[in-house]
C-alpha cells in the first residue's frame, strides 16, 4: 500500500486517489502474470502501482484511448519488463555457474 503521508508531495493528491481507486484493476492485471514468474504478487502489485503513476502522468485524452486501456498498457509493459529482467538475470547466473564448473 502506498504511504499516503509521503506520496502526495511526490505525485499529488489526485494521483494518490486515482491509484487507490484502481488497486483492484492493478491486482487483476498482476494476477495474470503470477504463473509466469517466481516474483511474489506483492512485488507485481508494486510494479503495477508505479506503472499506474506513469500512466497518469502520460495520459492524453486527445489520443482517443480510454484511461483504462492506457493504464493497462503501462502496467502490463512494466510487469513484463520486470519478468524479462529477472529471467535474464537468473539465466545469466546459471550460465556463469555452469561455465565455472571444473570437469
- Residues 1-50 have pLDDT tens digits of 444 444 445 557 877 887 788 889 999 999 999 888 889 999 999 999 99
**Residue 33 falls inside a structural domain:** yes
Give the pLDDT score at 3.
45
Mean pLDDT score across all residues of the chain: 81
Q: Which domain holds residue 31?
A: 7-99
CATH assignment of the domain containing 78: 1.20.120.1810
**Residue 69 falls inside a structural domain:** yes
**Residue 1 falls inside a structural domain:** no
Residues whose CB falls within 8 Å of the CB of residue 15, separated by 6 or more in sequence, listed in order: 7, 53, 56
Mean pLDDT of 53-60: 90
Tally the domains of the chain: 1
Mean pLDDT of 80-89: 89
**Residue 2 falls inside a structural domain:** no
- Measured CA to CA in angstroms, residue 13 lies from 5, 58, 60, 69, 98 at distances of 10, 17, 19, 22, 50
Give the pLDDT score at 61.
86
Amino acid at each position: 500500500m502506498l504511504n499516503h503521508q509521503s506520496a502526495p508531495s511526490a505525485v499529488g493528491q489526485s494521483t494518490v486517489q486515482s491509484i487507490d481507486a484502481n488497486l483492484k484493476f492493478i491486482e487483476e492485471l498482476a494476477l495474470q502474470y503470477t504463473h509466469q514468474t517466481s516474483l511474489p504478487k506483492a512485488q507485481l502489485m508494486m510494479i503495477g502501482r508505479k506503472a499506474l503513476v506513469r500512466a497518469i502522468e502520460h495520459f492524453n485524452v486527445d489520443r482517443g484511448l480510454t484511461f483504462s486501456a492506457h493504464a493497462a498498457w503501462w502496467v502490463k509493459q512494466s510487469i513484463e519488463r520486470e519478468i524479462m529482467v529477472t529471467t535474464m538475470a537468473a539465466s545469466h547466473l546459471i550460465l556463469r555457474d555452469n561455465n565455472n564448473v571444473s570437469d
